[in-house]
Amino acid sequence: MDVRLEPWSEGSLALLRRINTPEMRRHVGGPEPEEALLARHDRYLAMPAAGGGRMFAVLLGDEPVGSIAYHPRDWRGERIYETGWNVLPPYQGRGVAAAAGAALIGIVRDVAREPGSPRTLHAFPSVGNAPSNALCRRLGFDLLGACDFEYPRGSGTLMRSNDWCLGLGTPSGA
């Protein structure tokens, strides 16, 4: 399967609009209005310059079929990397998310070698999102338990999520 991650670009806005549907966003509060979607797209474009994170379009061959990201955040007194993903319905259940997740984990493991980088990668799928929770297990994450998780960050809106954690290795020289 030819699954690749491509850095988010201006052209990725069309993919973001395809993801912004009731079906795709049912576990995260539903579709966003256009203004919020454009602000999200701008945040994704700015992630690399903002320090430590990146959004990617997931490509199957040359077709954009989803998105996946990582970024640093503070969680329960610790600096972590957080990840999240989307795969469009026609491509779900075909191993695309698993291939994209494995590719992202490789990228984050490389980034985590830098001094001072977070040592864990967390995913916070809704407790009711069985496919995403199964993907976490398949990718080797450990389930730490259910939690109340603010999404989108800064919104004050809490969703009931599972906290999945993947260790990224030991610091250099340790």
d(CA 13, CA 5): 16
Any domain includes 23: yes
pLDDT score at 174: 39
d(CA 123, CA 100): 14
Of 112, 21, 108, give the one whose Cα is nearest residue 66.
21
pLDDT score at 47: 92
Average pLDDT over the chain, rounded to an integer: 90
3-state secondary structure of 66: strand
User: Domain count of the chain?
Assistant: 1
Q: Give strand pairing partners of 7.
A: 56
Of 125, 151, 126, 64, give the one whose Cα is nearest residue 100.
64
Percent of the chain with pLDDT over 70: 95
Any domain includes 174: no
d(CA 23, CA 99): 22
Give pLDDT tens digits for 46-90. 999 987 799 999 999 999 999 999 999 999 999 999 999 999 999
CATH code assigned at 20: 3.40.630.30
Any domain includes 126: yes
3-state secondary structure of 156: coil
pLDDT tops 60 at residue 116: yes
Of 136, 139, 142, give the one whose Cα is nearest residue 165.
142
Any domain includes 173: no
Query: 38-52, 83-97, 107-121, 129-143 — which is least confidently predicted?
Result: 38-52
Cβ–Cβ under 8 Å, residues 79 and 108: no
pLDDT score at 30: 79
Helices (H), 51-171: 96-111, 130-138
Range of the domain at 152: 3-167
Residue type, 77: G
Instruction: Give the global pTM.
Output: 0.90
Any domain includes 172: no
pLDDT score at 170: 57
